[in-house]
């Protein structure tokens, strides 16, 4: 078993079996229970609200919370009966991404290769030429 004292003493006096036990189960020792479900655990390093102790599976779909990374997250349905945290994307950014995707599809239909189409669409986005009428 692990001897009392500092980690240095544990390192000096623990035998091989104790060290093996520590390394194998260290990940379980440093996990904390979720605030809304005692059967689930989190490490605290997650950028989503789970990093603050809020598990998504025990919340309603559509619930919004601020995550550990200071951005807004929302509970979304994933597969049949699973829920996950997903970042909330603002409408303007989503519209820009949709315009870029549409332009890439259009360029590929006109015979451009995928990488060329991406480069052209991103250049047009940077120049502010996407989504404007000619």
Position 3 confidence tier, pLDDT thresholds 50, 70, 90: very low
Contact (CB, 8 A) for 53 and 32? yes
CA distance 94 to 99: 9
Q: Give the start-to-end residue ranges of the domains of the chain.
A: 1-30, 34-88, 91-127
Query: What pLDDT, in 10s, does the model give residues 69-95?
Result: 888 888 888 888 888 888 887 767 777
Polymer length of the chain? 134
- Sign of the dihedral defined by the CA atoms of residues 90, 93, 96, 100, in that order: negative
Contact (CB, 8 A) for 70 and 81? no
- Beta-carbon count within 10 A of 38 CB: 8
Q: What percent of the chain has pLDDT over 90?
A: 13
Q: Where would I find the beta strands (DSSP E) of the chain?
A: 32-33, 41-42, 64-66, 72-78, 82-87
- Global pTM exceeds 0.85: no
CA distance 104 to 124: 11
- Beta-carbon count within 10 A of 1 CB: 8
Q: What is the pLDDT of residue 19?
A: 64
- Strand bridging mode 64-66 / 41-42: unpaired
């Amino acid at each position: 078993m692990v001897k009392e004292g500092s980690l240095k003493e544990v390192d000096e006096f623990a035998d091989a079996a104790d060290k093996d036990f520590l390394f194998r189960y260290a990940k379980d020792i440093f996990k904390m229970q979720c605030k809304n479900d005692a059967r689930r655990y989190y490490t605290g390093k997650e950028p989503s609200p789970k990093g603050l102790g809020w598990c998504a599976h025990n919340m309603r779909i559509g619930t919004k919370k601020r995550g550990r990374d200071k951005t807004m997250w929302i509970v979304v349905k994933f597969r049949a009966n699973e829920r996950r945290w997903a970042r909330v994307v603002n409408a303007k950014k989503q519209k820009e991404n949709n315009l870029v995707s549409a332009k890439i599809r259009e360029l590929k239909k006109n015979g451009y290769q995928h990488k060329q189409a991406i480069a052209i669409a991103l250049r047009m986005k940077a120049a502010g030429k996407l989504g404007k009428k000619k």
